[in-house]
Amino acid sequence: MFNPFTTHHSSDMNWALNNPNPEGKEPRTTTQSSDFYHLSAKDSPQKSRKIDFWRSGLMGFAKMQHSVAVKMNNGNNNDQVGNKKGSTFIQEHRALLPKGLILWTIIVGFISRGIYQWMDDTSKVRREEVLVSMCDQRARMLQDQFSVSVNHVHALAILVSTFHYHKNPSAIDQGTFADYTARTAFERPLLSGVAYAEKVVNAEREMFESQHNWVIKTMDTGEPSPVRDEYAPVIFSQDSVSYLESLDMMSGEEDRENILRARETGKAVLTSPFRLLASHHLGVVLTFPVYKASLPRNPTVQERIAATAGYLGGAFDVESLVENLLGQLAGNQAIVVHVYDITNASDPLVMYGNQDEEGDTSLYHESKLDFGDPFRKHKMICRYLQKAPIPLNVLTTVPLFFAIGFLVGYILYGAAVHIVKVEDDFHEMQELKVRAEAADVAKSQFLATVSHEIRTPMNGILGMLAMLLDTELSSTQRDYAQTAQVCGKALIALINEVLDRAKIEAGKLELESVPFDIRSILDDVLSLFSEESRNKGIELAVFVSDKVPEIVKGDSGRFRQIIINLVGNSVKFTEKGHIFVKVHLAEQSKDGAESKPALNGGVASEDITAASKPSSYNTLSGYEAADGRNSWDSFKHLVSSEELLTSSEFDASSNVRLMVSIEDTGIGIPLTAQGRVFMPFMQADSSTSRTYGGTGIGLSISKCLVELMRGQISFVSRPRVGSTFWFTAVFERCDKFSLKKPTVENLPSSFRGMRAIVVDAKPVRAAVTRYHMKRLGISVDVMTSLRTAVSTASGRNGSPLPSGTTKLDMILVEKDSWISTEDIDAEIRQMNSRTNGNVHRKTPKLALFATNITNSEFDRAKSAGFADTVIMKPLRASMIGACLQQVLELRKARQQHPEGSSPATLKSLLTGKKILVVDDNMVNRRVAAGALKKFGAEVVCAESGQVALGLLQIPHSFDACFMDIQMPQMDGFEATRQIRMMEKEAKEKTKLEWHLPILAMTADVIHATYEECLKSGMDGYVSKPFEEENLYKSVAKSFKANPISDSSCSQS
């Protein structure tokens, strides 16, 4: 695979080797960067932005630039490969999605069409069934009605035969017949009328005509009938058809056939339909034969013709019959009914129905009709009046189905599209994430590298400035150089902070664990700020609870860093009032001081204090503080509980949780900004940094450090009142004597057993003073009024001190108390003079505490008798000691360490130690030996691991070994392993424990990590080239961690 690294390096090389003049920094940078831009533009897909970023930020740091950028490119390439693998089925087929949607829609369309067909078919079938049943019903009813009518006609025929022929003389005449038929007409609703025609043969015509007094007429003309074989003149008729009387029924062709058929069959016979004379309705004529005598059981046709007496006829109004019938039935509007006479099958005759009224021709049903005339055939055809409407459910169901199907398809499509989009986004995000991570790595690397790159030239600058300051300079020049040096130091400090931050973020910061004295550290911090606080007139005080162990084990440097940071902030933002640092055990604050719940954020506490705002507060300086916890009310619990429980009892646990609070009465933090106080580079507001300077990184580092110390940091702040920061930190308890002497600040011991009176109206401040005095071994009585103190001291009223003794060595007066007490100066003078006169009593010395003092005040103090001294605040035990020494003219023999600083301590660690230096590089060996020799060690060198092994055969007299890691043949790790093996064997043999501290020497800290060193049995490492502090740290750690070497060193 193409490795951009390769090309980069070789290009770098090429440059380095081609350029004859390597001093030219400028061309170097530009050549490289352009090279880099070119490459990255080719490689990386997101070039332009990155290039801009780098270009703006890193023009000067081409060297690290490309390694970082190359890494990013690599990462991206890998990632893109990963992306491709991760794509899903849907994504791969994203082009098919719209086609899929269309296909789905078509399928749904087909299905809905099928459903439509099916529903339509079923509805058609049902419609047909309905039609069939309706038609059949109508046909049956028509038939029934018809047969009922026929039966009546039959009955009428029998009536006529009975009463006209069997009675003699006849019982019926026209009047009777008409009357009877009229009255029985309800039984024949369909017959417009009935008439009876008698059979008359031509021979009987004369007689018949004369008998009835009229001539037989033809039907169509009404003329007297021509001569025929036979006639059938109507003799009786219902009134409705009375016009038929005397008409010869046989004169009409059709009627004649009817009559003939009727008498042959003996049954009712129908004509084909025709328009009735009266109503113009379509109708048929029903003819029924009347026989003279009763016929034999199965009469022949001849017998029937012979027996025929006449014919009963009636006109059937088929149209109204059917109309009536249909009217009685439901649904008659829906269908069209036609009745046909189909005797002649080729030419059906319409009996009923409007021929124009077609109805729905697609569907019809035929029902046969049997009107009892075997010769005539009828049928009924039913149709729907309207075309079958598309049913509503079909209308709704099918579109609904289609719509739902389409929607489902669309939803699926939408989902798929969404999935594709989300996955695209996801991949994009992933890519961005990788990029962001790469950028983060780059940032860290950038920070680390840049810090380092800056530090190196800065060291040069500082070194040169130091050298410059050693030369002869004019005062202006010196001033300039000194300023430059201060600025450089500040810059280095800032870079270190940034580096710290980066280290913490990368989780690379490790806390060390060395014993230290909290009190002296606090004193140191205080002394750092004493100048500034004094100039501002702020009281700066520290109080450490007695319960806090004298020596704890932890990272003193980091602890100090936190406190310096917090106190520094407080000093920066406080113009008046006080800054009060208080240290106590976290448990103490729980049971004692936390009578009032901790208030977070200023709002709640503001309410409380606003209600009863006292004119002065029981705080250190009398100014109001943000957190009530440090005021006297709760503070006295702390102090009193200490007095009750003296520090004799020792907690069983090896850890001690300290709580440190830093209270100030400064400008406070705006409520809106309180949430982001611990965020890096965030100051309360941007104007803050303009007014007060600073980067705002300190608090975030402090927070990280506190968290590393397994503690918490928090604060209470009220704008314009002040802030109280507090944090907890866990330290190991430590034996008092485990601390190496030099780091303990030696407090003079000459004050032990002395007594003093402290005059201070402010209890908190008095407690602080008492704390410092106590450290010096002076027991203190606090008095609130100077007057009582003076009178007590002068013994005028003879009252003994509260503690019972009368011995008094000094009176320490707080300036405020002195200023506020009027006319006391004279008394003081008097007291001084009186006690001076008293030979047996020692004069109590007077001293004044002041934060700041004006000249006039100073003169007054002098005149009043405070000539002895004015002790300037902030108070520190050592300073009080020094001042009091002056006052009491005690001479203390300062014991040791005129030089004081780390070389001396390193010297003390290393003096007389026999140390083996193992390095294959002669120069390195020589330098290491030189450095160690300088600190008083006796150095033996070995140029390889094998030689070292030979020298270290047990028993040997070496106290420590510095081992190079990179050596040919046997590297440092291997050599160490073998040494440890030898020690183990020796232990088994002689029961004597050997453990030689072995410290790795390496030029490359990253390469050989601490873990690797430890794994192979080393005790620590020193980075090459040697730096004193670094060396001291490692040496101190490994010597202390190892009591055997201690004992061996004490023997040697």
404 is written with which tokens? 């739902």
Pattern of binders to other proteins over 198-217, x per CB under 8 A? --------------------
Q: Does 927 bind other proteins (CB under 8 A)?
A: yes
d(CA 698, CA 561): 9
Q: Least distance in Å: CB of 553 to other proteins?
A: 30
* Residue of 685, 1027, 1029, 1046 interacting with other proteins (CB under 8 A): 1027
Q: Least distance in Å: CB of 4 to other proteins?
A: 13
579 or 1000: CB nearest other proteins: 1000
Tell me which amino acid residue 857 is.
E
Q: Least distance in Å: CB of 934 to other proteins?
A: 5
DSSP lists the bridge partners of residue 582 as 543, 661
Q: Least distance in Å: CB of 410 to other proteins?
A: 60
The three-state secondary structure class of 594 is: coil
Q: Does 356 bind other proteins (CB under 8 A)?
A: no
Residue pair 485/462 in contact (Cβ under 8 Å)? The answer is: yes
Q: Does 45 bind other proteins (CB under 8 A)?
A: no
Alpha-carbon radius of gyration of the chain: 65
Q: Does 463 bind other proteins (CB under 8 A)?
A: yes
Q: Least distance in Å: CB of 924 to other proteins?
A: 5
Contact range with other proteins by CB under 8 A, out of 160-168, 462-470, 701-709, 775-783:
462-470
* Residue of 82, 224, 753, 930 interacting with other proteins (CB under 8 A): 930
915 is written with which tokens? 């140390």
Torsion, Cα 986 992 993 998, to 10 degrees, reads -60
Q: What values do phi and psi take at 1001, rounded to 5?
A: -115, 125
Q: Least distance in Å: CB of 962 to other proteins?
A: 13
d(CA 498, CA 701): 9
Q: Does 484 bind other proteins (CB under 8 A)?
A: no
Tell me which amino acid residue 446 is.
F
675 or 1025: CB nearest other proteins: 1025
Q: What is the DSSP string of 698-756?
A: HHHHHHHHHHHTT--EEEEEETTTEEEEEEEEEEEE--GGGS-GGGSPPPP-TTTT-EE
465 is written with which tokens? 């400035």
Contact range with other proteins by CB under 8 A, out of 144-152, 279-287, 917-925, 1011-1019:
917-925
* Residue of 57, 86, 109, 460 interacting with other proteins (CB under 8 A): 460
Residue pair 959/914 in contact (Cβ under 8 Å)? The answer is: yes
Q: Least distance in Å: CB of 1028 to other proteins?
A: 8
404 or 1003: CB nearest other proteins: 1003
Residues from 992 through 1011 that contact other proteins (CB under 8 A): 1003
What is the residue whose two structure tokens read 């830093």? 662
Q: Does 467 bind other proteins (CB under 8 A)?
A: yes
Q: Does 13 bind other proteins (CB under 8 A)?
A: yes
Those residues whose C-beta lies under 8 Å from the C-beta of residue 279, and which sit 6 or more positions away, are 192, 317, 320
Q: Hey, CA dihedral for 947, 953, 958, 964, is it positive or negative?
A: positive
d(CA 886, CA 871): 11
Q: Does 6 bind other proteins (CB under 8 A)?
A: yes
Q: What is the DSSP string of 490-512?
A: HHHHHHHHHHHHHHHHTT-----
Distances (CA, A) of 194 to 178, 190, 240, 268, 341: 9, 11, 8, 13, 22
* Residue of 787, 926, 980, 987 interacting with other proteins (CB under 8 A): 926
Contact range with other proteins by CB under 8 A, out of 4-12, 107-115, 366-374, 877-885:
4-12
Q: Does 41 bind other proteins (CB under 8 A)?
A: no
| For the chain, counts of helices (H) and of strands (E) | 33, 29
23 or 988: CB nearest other proteins: 23
Q: Does 1025 bind other proteins (CB under 8 A)?
A: yes
Q: Does 71 bind other proteins (CB under 8 A)?
A: no
* Residue of 714, 921, 944, 1042 interacting with other proteins (CB under 8 A): 921
Q: Least distance in Å: CB of 573 to other proteins?
A: 37
* Residue of 814, 920, 983, 1019 interacting with other proteins (CB under 8 A): 920
* Residue of 653, 923, 989, 1051 interacting with other proteins (CB under 8 A): 923
Q: Least distance in Å: CB of 811 to other proteins?
A: 50
Q: Does 12 bind other proteins (CB under 8 A)?
A: yes
* Residue of 350, 385, 412, 464 interacting with other proteins (CB under 8 A): 464
* Residue of 28, 376, 534, 1024 interacting with other proteins (CB under 8 A): 1024
Q: What is the DSSP string of 461-482?
A: HHHHHHHHHHS---HHHHHHHH
Contact range with other proteins by CB under 8 A, out of 14-22, 192-200, 296-304, 737-745:
14-22
Distances (CA, A) of 764 to 588, 643, 644, 723, 852: 17, 15, 18, 18, 19
User: How would you write 518-580 as a 3-class SS string?
Assistant: HHHHHHHHHHHHHHHHHHHCCEEEEEECCCCCCEEEECHHHHHHHHHHHHHHHHHHCCCCEEE
Q: Does 1030 bind other proteins (CB under 8 A)?
A: no
Q: Does 901 bind other proteins (CB under 8 A)?
A: no
Pattern of binders to other proteins over 950-989, x per CB under 8 A? ----------------x-x---------------------
d(CA 522, CA 709): 17
Q: Does 10 bind other proteins (CB under 8 A)?
A: yes
* Residue of 379, 914, 934, 956 interacting with other proteins (CB under 8 A): 934
Q: Least distance in Å: CB of 3 to other proteins?
A: 10
Those residues whose C-beta lies under 8 Å from the C-beta of residue 968, and which sit 6 or more positions away, are 920, 944
Tell me which amino acid residue 321 is.
L
d(CA 335, CA 383): 5
Q: Does 931 bind other proteins (CB under 8 A)?
A: yes
Binding site for other proteins (CB under 8 A): 6, 9-10, 12-14, 16-18, 22-23, 456, 459-460, 463-464, 467, 471-472, 920-924, 926-927, 930-931, 933-934, 966, 968, 1003, 1024-1027
